[in-house]
Chain A
């Protein structure tokens, strides 16, 4: 089977919410257990396994939540935009609902990134905030999340909200490369990438491990919560259909 046909078959397989719910039934508990275990290991490594940095001192420990939260903020938005595209093109029910389920989680990760960044910036840079390209574009990402949540709930017809939100997500995806490359394109107060770069990471292994484990913990936590919220969205849609049938029956 050609690759593009294979992709379409895969997309159609999980377009059936019942089949998707069966998948969620084992993915959600597995991801939950993984998230708890990895969070415990990550916190232990962050506080007891990592040395203090010779320049940053104790504040290096803020990096172990700030950087994974930033990665998640970008990953969640990109996945939402991809799902919105699949939803618009193939009318894929689960993809449409995924964006609604994931948006508050993405907004939460972005908020963690902004707050922990400010708490690192004050002792290290002497300021909570600077309107540089990296920080401003992440703030725009946070507003995009809030805008999507508000827009997708703003219509009486939920489908109209999903479609309008999908357009916003697809247009807003332009912000993702701007965030990623802002530190290279412009002269920013924010430092350039030290882990996700083409060369070897510029972070020592003793500090890279807590970062990687916390990143995996955030990813597992997101999968567990996204599964739970997606199941809720599918059930909410079934409830709406059921209520409509009852209203028709009563009339």
Chain B
């Protein structure tokens, strides 16, 4: 690799910044998906229990 070695700091910082943003987006999407799926499962379980109580 040739060129001004000082410029490698800017390159490293740019890739680090992009990595931080992408990792944040991936983690936020995964956690949000897990939270909503869990809440939906709980709600469906509650609905099933309510239906069972009503039937009995």
Which residues does A use to contact B, with CB under 8 Å?
A: 52-53, 56-59, 61-62, 65-66, 69, 104-105, 108, 111-112, 115-116, 119-120, 122-123, 221, 225, 228-229, 231-232, 235-236, 238-239, 242-243, 245-246, 249
| A225–B25 touching, CB < 8 Å | yes
The answer on a CB contact under 8 Å between B14 and A246 is: no
Inter-chain CA distance A53–B11, complex, in Å, is 13
Q: Is the interface of B mostly helix, strand, loop or mixed?
A: helix
Most central of B5, B11, B15 by chain A CB within 10 Å: B11
* A contact residues around B15 at 8 Å (CB): 61, 65
CA A105 to CA B21, docked complex, whole Å: 10
- State whether the Cβ of B39 lies closer than 8 Å to any Cβ in chain A: yes
A62 to B14 CA separation, bound complex (whole angstroms) = 6
Closest beta carbon of chain A to B34's beta carbon, Å: 9
**What is B's interface to A at a CB cutoff of 8 Å?**
1-8, 10-11, 13-15, 17-18, 21-22, 24-26, 28-30, 32-33, 36-37, 39-40, 43-44, 46-47, 50
Could you list 8 A-B pairs, sorted by A, with CB under 8 Å? Answer: A52-B2, A58-B11, A59-B7, A115-B14, A119-B17, A228-B29, A238-B40, A242-B43
Q: A225-B26, A228-B30, A232-B36 are in contact. Are A112 and B18 (CB under 8 A)?
A: yes
Q: Are B3 and A52 in contact, with the CB atoms below 8 A?
A: yes
In whole angstroms, what is the CA distance A56 to B1 when docked? Answer: 13
